[in-house]
Chains A and B, each alone.
Chain A
Amino acid sequence: MGMERVQCTYDSLDETFEIREEMYQGQQYSHIYFTRLRLMRTLLYSLVPHWKPNFPVCTVLGLEESKECVIVGTLYKHMKLKPCILDEYSKQKSVVPLVQPRNFVHSDDYLVLEDESGRVKLNGNIIPPSEYVTGIVVALLGKESGAGDFLVQDVLDAGLPPQIEFPLKSGEDKYVVLVSGLSVGSSSSNPLQFQLLVDHITGHLGDEKEQSIASQIVRLIFAGNLVEIPQRLLNGQNLASKDLARISEPIRELDILLSQIAAGLPLDIMPGPSDPANFSLPQQSLHRCLFPGSSMYNTFRSCTNPHCFELDNVRFLGTSGQNVDDLDKYSDAKDKLEFMERTLRWRHLAPTAPNTLGCFPYTKRDPFFIESCPHVYFVGNQDKFETRVIKGSEGQLVRLVCVPKFSETGVAVMLNIRDLECHALSFGTQFSS
């Protein structure tokens, strides 16, 4: 007796993250900030009349001493502890090797607001530097103090973007499984654990009830870090042929695993920091030549990171984790979900790019601008599974999911697109010795 897998529609919205025409032609990063500011300013200007109807709107240039007004610009955070590439070149090697802190926030950090016309240093405790990062566009109400600083009295961020309507409940449970950090080839990877997951979702495990749940899985999303290739091998200059082969070994292993899945259900793979992909965001899809076996299936999709798609008109947006990890280095929040929430409110998936997060030097657009609010927003490669639903002022509902590293936790995430309910799927392999 066989069970038919539940079907659902799939639309990829990755086009915005694909780099096709754009080239490296000596362009710098000013354009992306410029574009971002233009986009965001139009948006914020439309909100200002409701927010502060009685104040004039100025540019940084137009500030006058002690005149209250609204200004819109890009934040820049001056950070004392921020690592600086110049130090690697110019400074004497310090005697005691520096331990890089996990987080570079310092109490001396301060914010600066910049537009095309200039910069002004921000003051006041309305806008705590530890919560903000370089690259966000906000509107501020305040006034210039005598010293040339701007005393902030109120802050407005763009808020959650408008959301497409959530499809009517069909009553049918359909699950999406989110996995990240398989890290095939790394020391922490546990092939057996992953095999359990594969067997489970392909319906080779458990009783009928479990199988029937498994049959409701409509898609598997791999949110980055599928493999880990020893860096040593990639940097080495003259490699022995034996070493050369070892580069592709983990990938071959992964290909076999993916083939097993692809044979059973649709899957999306997103590149992550440790995958054989480019480094800068958006990371381009992993090349098919790496997956000669699994890529033969039309269920196999190699996607970009960030990745955006719709399943039965439920919109998903996710990254392999770099955006949130970078915020975690350069700002503070109570948990990772809060970082995620902030990026939505700032309407920018990766505000710290390009400043501290590598990104392509776009000239005409900023692909990380979030135009439409997703229903599900996930980030991969986090330490633990966390989830929460947030609500926007216009009734937007977003399910936030931190997808943990599978190789370290054995946890995948099951998400029901019918009601956006979500739970962990835990696989353990313990042998008594």
Chain B
Amino acid sequence: MSNKASRKRTAAPPQPPPAKQPLMSQEEEFMDEDVFIDQSLVLEDEESIILRDIEQRQALAARLSKWMRPPLSADYVAQSRSVIFQQLEIDYVIGESHRELLPNLSGAAAIIRIFGVTKEGHSVCCNVHGFEPYFYVCCPPGMGPDDISHFHQTLEGRMREANRNNNVGKFVRRIEMVQKRSIMHYQQSDSQPFLKIVVALPTMVASCRGILDRGIQLDGLGMKSFLTYESNVLFALRFMIDCNIVGGNWIEIPAGKYKKTMKNLSYCQLEFDCLYSELISHAPEGEYSKMAPFRILSFDIECAGRKGHFPDPSHDPVIQIANLVTLQGEDQPIIRNVMTLESCSPIVGVDVMSFDTEREVLLAWREFIREVDPDIIIGYNICKFDLPYLIERAANLKIAEFPILGRIRNSRVRVKDTTFSSRQYGTRESKEVTVEGRVQFDLLQVMQRDYKLSSYSLNSVSAHFLSEQKEDVHHSIISDLQNGTAETRRRLAVYCLKDAYLPQRLLDKLMFIYNYVEMARVTGVPISFLLSRGQSIKANVLSQLLRKARQKNMVIPNVKQAGSEQGTFEGATVLEARAGFYEKPIATLDFASLYPSIMMAYNLCYCTLVTPEDVQKLNIPPESVNRTPSGETFVKSNLQKGILPEILEELLTARKRAKADLKEAKDPLERAVLDGRQLALKISANSVYGFTGATIGQLPCLEISSSVTSYGRQMIEHTKKLVEDKFTTLNGYEHNAEVIYGDTDSVMVQFGVSAVDQAMNLGREAAEYISGTFTKPIKLEFEKVYYPYLLISKKRYAGLFWTKPDNFDKMDTKGIETVRRDNCLLVKNLVNDCLHKILIDRDIPGAVQYVKNAISDLLMNRMDLSLLVITKGLTKTGDDYEVKAAHVELAERMRKRDAATAPNVGDRVPYVIIKAAKGAKAYEKSEDPIYVLENNIPIDPQYYLENQISKPILRIFEPILKNASRELLHGSHTRSISISTPSNSGILKFAKKQLTCIGCKAVLGKGYHTVCSHCKGREAELYCKTVSQVSELEVLFGRLWTQCQECQGSLHQDVLCTSRDCPIFYRRKKAQKDMAEAKSQLDRFCDIWFIAEFYLEDHRNRGRNVLFGNPDRTF
């Protein structure tokens, strides 16, 4: 896609970071019961059409067959060997119960499907039978076996009423009495009776839960409502938990325990049925920690949009699809191809396939998917743009057979409209495409979730991670390239291929496959949960909790959503920051994994919490409980070991082991796995606390989370006190230590010494001393020294970061927002350069001068325009905005100028603030930077000074400088102002251009072209200045334009790129324009040259026939 990132944004509203996400539909989605997956199967005659189609394209098929997976060996064919494979995707369908495997059952049943790959690279579809959906309720006291059977009948009756349309023999298969205990609260008894309710189909869990929630009339007990347990667990996850399967692990089905399916329903090479009890799940260790050779398809499409419109599948054709297939673990793709509409010149190393109709392009792609059989489909914004577009386009072209892209034969890909609501972003509609058996990994979504960047365009993401600028072809050009020749279409294809290649490179560079598979293994959920479910953190803590509870014979209640009325609790404290510029080393004492440590140290868990009533009632000896600073009571581990502390211990021990193994490991692939694992373990451990505190989460328990933070606060204050009491001159230390700041899990101490190594020694001593006073495993560590340290306020500081006494490691900044999108680049540069000067060069006067120069440059109109560009996303059209916004107004104005190049909804709109008439509203002062460049429109320096620069700069300088504002923003450097004269403003159109003297700007009289008579003697000097300007511009011109050639990867073709994200885009434009102007200025000197020529003629003879030597002298 052209202009990919920006344009695709319409369809892809940036997801808010999971932690802050307020509830709404995403939340519901996870909460929601399993949905019956209706397979939209294609009718038989349609299939024969497809078959005919295939025949017609034998040639293509031959090409495609090259890309097939390796053929099965004889023992696989004979089913004489165990099948061992790494699973990637687990879902279920409703089908007929398997007669051979389950002779006693009949009717509809849920069949689990596991998709995966063997180590030889064969694709596997394993249909698992016999696993039944169930949940628990607490057994009312006094209920005997007869009562249960009665209860069963009543429930069955209610279920039949509620699901009239459902034609199932039996809804509730059975109810068993089991001994379990609830995870909630400390209980003295080990267990109590629970009823395990087994239902026929997964969807019935929810319906059954609803009935029990509302209450059910029971003989002898009256109307009774039940609290259900574990009734909100997705069926696939339930299966995984009960079978000890974690996301992305290896599964073995021994020979003889599986049966080949009668009729293959999938395109997988190995497809078979088995019983769930026959599965062997291998823990991801040793040989089984490796990755199977997954096939990863990275693709990108191009559409020919109409001028001025965002591509719409009901109008605009798909013209190219570029594909790259890479085997997991290899660094070069095995397949590179591009499918184009109309001819396209060949590309080296790429299989170019051209077709005459769009229908053929789409069908070729479908065939390709089927033959290549990718396990993972990646791309940039494929989930919200490319895939839905292809499917809708095919629907518009009435190609019914197109959307069979999944692994299930004849099953069409389903497009689901989803709405996504959040307080931050409002409600948006988007599409979700389900491709059965293949994992979709959309790099855009992953980037938005995992990284905080100022822009998520493919261009800026590649620039950020791969240090590569991507050529960006404006979408208005795409149609022109398509309508050109085979050569121009080739150009487009190369561009399209690059867009398909970059996601793969990002995937490799950022180790996403390793990290996500490891995350799935650690948390136990399928990879697709981590990718598509908004609340991945909650999902995976819950999964771990369920697994652990199962081991302990505990069950987890399905607590009603309490909403947010539970109130908030006091968050983490920060000690007051003593703002200032510290020129002595500041030692930082850090708590290592503070919150997990607190939970372990004080045994904080659901099952160790004693309710206030129980505190009175249970009579627990005081030495066996901890009272937390927030007033809660938890029993110590001798009475009941908490589940959360146990999970945390395991995670942290596993992390330690992974890190130790990582040190040993030599093989890069093994290292990647281990590194991914330790990272996943860390994230997991840190998310447990958040899980207990999420008031609208799965199982909130504010008693735990508020206790954790209250302990945290206590610890920080305790540390401050100990440090300031111990490290004093009274105790024989050189100086009195001072705590200047404390954050959630760290304390900054100024020991008063001036050498880094001294501060390090004292830091180490303090960490050890204070750690001794804490309950294990809470530990204070000394890691780093800041020197010098600029403390601005809470959560805002900057300093040089030292871990060894000889050299600093880096410059560390926090909370000094230099990456905010609505800041112009100037702010970012200014802040960075100032910090650099202050901290590294230790040159405060230099930094001050630097700011003054920059401000003066701004006021004198010497600032590079690209530094002043502000960018905002256009999310809807002007009418929908309640308040007029600068970028929206500008988009409207640009549309009136030229609809073809004006930004569309979803694009980012870059603008600068220009000088406008007095009293103009802020939103009226925005203008397109290109338009500004071309017409010499003056920018508004005051706006930039007041609204952009002043705050961040003052923030930095206030701790350093007295009267920072007066000195920096109002000094003498702000007195001279220069404003360019616009070339298009009204009055100037009537003005006659007159030549002015290059030296003094006086209007030149007749006969003078360059300088006035007054400046005549200064020609040489003026020429030098003018030519040096030309020369500077030439340097710039050359470097900028050759850089763009470099990016586009071609010397012989013109640069088309219009990426406004590129830092040199405006410079390049400006250089081109300035160059022409400076050159014409210089040419004015040439005019005298010709005059001089005439004038010279007379004098020429003076030098003719010059004799050797000076004629006046004789030898």
Contacts and interface: CB of A to CB of B under 8 A. Distances in A.
B990 interface: no
The contact size tier of chain B is 35 or more
Contact of B1043 (A84, A262, A264, A296): A84
A37 interface: yes
A328 B346 CA distance: 36
A234 interface: yes
Contacts of B836: 93
Interface in A252-302: 252, 262-265, 276-280, 287-290, 292, 295-300
B513 to A, nearest CB: 22
A359 B1038 CA distance: 7
A76 interface: yes
A147 B332 contact: yes
A429 B491 CA distance: 63
Nearest to B1010: A289
A5 B1111 CA distance: 12
Given A2-B1107, A37-B1052, A115-B1052, A211 B348 contact: no
A425 interface: no
Given A89-B1063, A358-B1035, A2 B1109 contact: yes
B1103 interface: yes
B371 interface: no
A24 interface: yes
A119 B1115 CA distance: 68
Contacts of A358: 1034-1035, 1037-1039
Contacts of B1025: 234, 247
B895 interface: no
B1024 A28 contact: no
Contact of B1106 (A60, A252, A263): A263
B399 interface: no
Given A247-B1024, A287-B1089, A30 B1045 contact: yes
Interface string B806-841: 001011000000000000010000001100100010
B1027 A276 contact: yes
A356 interface: yes
B463 interface: yes
Contacts of A159: none
A251 B1020 contact: yes
Nearest to A30: B1054
A30 B1115 contact: no
A264 B1108 contact: yes
Contacts of B1102: 296-298
Contacts of A279: 1030-1032, 1034-1035
Contacts of A107: none
Interface string B895-906: 000000000000
B1039 A85 contact: yes
A300 B1039 CA distance: 34
A244 interface: yes
Contact of A264 (B832, B833, B1031, B1109): B1109
B1063 A288 contact: no
A46 to B, nearest CB: 21
B811 A61 contact: no
A114 B1052 contact: yes
Interface string B1010-1032: 00000000111101110110111
B348 A262 contact: no
A100 interface: no
Contact of B1023 (A30, A287, A296, A297): A287
Contact of A119 (B345, B348, B1035, B1041): B348
B1055 interface: yes
B166 interface: no
Among the interface residues A24, A119, A276, which one has the most CB atoms of the partner chain B within 10 A? A24
Given A37-B1052, A84-B1043, A203-B1115, A278 B1031 contact: yes
Contacts of A298: 1100-1104
Given A74-B1052, A85-B1043, A3 B840 contact: no
A55 B837 CA distance: 62
Contact of A28 (B347, B348, B1055, B1085): B1055
A148 B1106 contact: no
Interface string A112-128: 00111111100000000
Contacts of A60: 348
A33 interface: yes
Interface in A162-200: none
Contacts of A84: 1043, 1046
B469 interface: yes
B1019 A30 contact: no
Contacts of A144: 348
Contacts of B1103: 262-263, 296-300
A252 B1020 contact: yes
A240 interface: no
Among the interface residues A1, A117, A251, which one has the most CB atoms of the partner chain B within 10 A? A117
A248 B1027 CA distance: 13
Among the interface residues A29, A277, A292, A361, which one has the most CB atoms of the partner chain B within 10 A? A29
Contact of B1052 (A33, A277, A355): A33
Interface stretch (B422-430, B843-851, B1072-1080): B1072-1080
Contacts of B262: none
Nearest to B807: A96
A215 B1106 CA distance: 12
A1 B1108 CA distance: 11
B188 interface: no
A305 B362 CA distance: 57
Interface in B975-1034: 1018-1021, 1023-1025, 1027-1028, 1030-1032, 1034
Interface string B1090-1106: 00100010011111101
B1110 interface: yes
A63 interface: yes
A289 B836 CA distance: 45
A180 to B, nearest CB: 19
Contact of B1041 (A28, A61, A289): A28
Nearest to A251: B1020
A390 interface: no
Contact of A74 (B463, B1027, B1051): B1051
Contact of A61 (B348, B1054, B1076, B1109): B348
Contact of A203 (B1053, B1088, B1108): B1108
Contact of B1024 (A30, A85, A95, A251): A251
A350 to B, nearest CB: 12
B638 interface: no
A61 B1100 CA distance: 59
Given A24-B1072, A277-B1027, A287-B1023, A30 B1051 contact: yes
Interface string A325-363: 000000000000000000000000000001111110100
Contacts of A251: 1020, 1024
Contacts of B1072: 24, 26
B731 interface: no
B861 to A, nearest CB: 11
A51 to B, nearest CB: 23
A228 to B, nearest CB: 12
A204 interface: yes
11 contacts: A5-B1106, A26-B1076, A93-B832, A95-B808, A116-B1053, A117-B345, A118-B494, A148-B348, A263-B1111, A354-B1038, A361-B1041
Q: Which 5 pairs, one residue from A and one from B, show the smallest C-beta to C-beta distance?
A: A148-B349, A89-B1063, A5-B1108, A297-B1103, A279-B1031
Interface of A: 1-5, 23-26, 28-30, 33-34, 37, 60-63, 74, 76, 84-86, 89-90, 92-93, 95, 114-120, 134-135, 144, 147-148, 202-204, 211, 215, 229, 234-235, 237, 244-245, 247-248, 251-252, 262-265, 276-280, 287-290, 292, 295-300, 354-359, 361
Given A29-B1045, A30-B1052, 9 more contacts: A3-B1109, A86-B1043, A86-B1063, A144-B348, A229-B1028, A234-B1025, A263-B1103, A277-B1031, A279-B1035
